[in-house]
Amino acid sequence: MDALITAVGLQKFFGSFHVLQDVDFAIAKGEVVCIIGPSGSGKSTFLRCINQLERIDSGYVTVDGEMVGYRRDGHRLYPLSDGEIARQRQAVGMVFQRFHLFPHKTVLQNIIEGPVGVLKRRRTDCVQEAKVLLKRVGLAHRADAYPGELSGGQQQRVAIARALAMKPKAMLFDEPTSALDPELVGEVLNVMKELAASGTTMIVVTHELGFCREVADRVVFMDAGRIVDSGTPGEILENPRNPRVKNFISAVL
């Protein structure tokens, strides 16, 4: 497999708590991987390490062949500057549980903030692309609305469009529907299904097993900071081999 994102031997501590324990992972371009597991198993921390929102204690991550967060000189690694990390972070879009939209900016302004302010692209081009993205997520008619005027599902769809506006090589989703009312979950999952069908590389931390079954190329089960098992949705969700995975699946279905 020609991996777009690779993690090798990831270790992460919060104080004495060993959050990630020797995690190895790879995802190919265009692949959709869903990560499931109990709360506190390290799933969200793993995504945050990929996107450099948490600093890795040991091991490393590469995105499109480039080591993130460090540069290698001989046998030594040197931390990158904040500016270099910001540049690397643009390669991976991230959608969080909460939407983190600017409340004082319109939907359109939220989406063009990164391309104009960070990438220094022409505002007119960014506005046109933002309108295309809003149509893609079903919100072309809400371009001039403010986040407070939108439902939670609509805000999350704006957050997805905002991440896509940076033209990332991969998208990370950290339980993107967990903060939504149940009737709003489907509208966000439908957008994510369309992204998957269009070939977007996606790592999705989720409890939505139906989405995993329908969309994922591979399902990864994490527990206690480790990857316990990995396989097709059928192998992990329908006929789990590992007793810990089997107990989890039976408990949540």
User: What local confidence, expressed as pLDDT, does residue 18 receive?
Assistant: 96
> What is the SS3 assignment for 10?
strand
For the chain, the straight-line distance linking the first and the last C-alpha, in angstroms and rounded, comes to: 32
Supply the pLDDT for residue 2: 82
For the chain, give every domain's residue range.
100-167
Find where tokens 């316990």 sit: 228
Separation between Cα atoms, residue 189 and residue 201, nearest integer Å: 15
| 8 A C-beta contact, residue 252 and residue 209 | yes
pLDDT (0 to 100) of residue 1: 62
Residue 84's alpha-carbon distances to 9, 70, 192, 222, in angstroms, are: 23, 9, 29, 30
The kind and range of the H/E element at 229 are strand 226-231
Separation in Å, CA 221 to CA 106, 127, 205, 216, 239 = 38, 40, 10, 13, 13
173-185 per-residue burial string, b: 16 or more CB within 10 A, e: under 16 = bbbbbeebeeebb
The per-residue pLDDT for 210 is: 92
Say if residues 241 and 58 touch (Cβ distance below 8 Å). no
pLDDT of residue 120: 92
Q: What is the pLDDT along the chain (253 residues), one digit of tens a residue?
A: 689 999 999 999 999 999 999 999 999 999 999 999 999 999 999 999 999 999 999 999 999 999 998 888 888 888 888 888 888 888 999 999 888 899 999 999 999 999 999 899 999 999 999 999 999 999 999 999 999 999 999 999 999 999 999 999 999 999 999 989 988 999 999 999 999 999 999 999 999 999 999 999 999 999 999 999 999 999 999 999 999 999 999 888 7
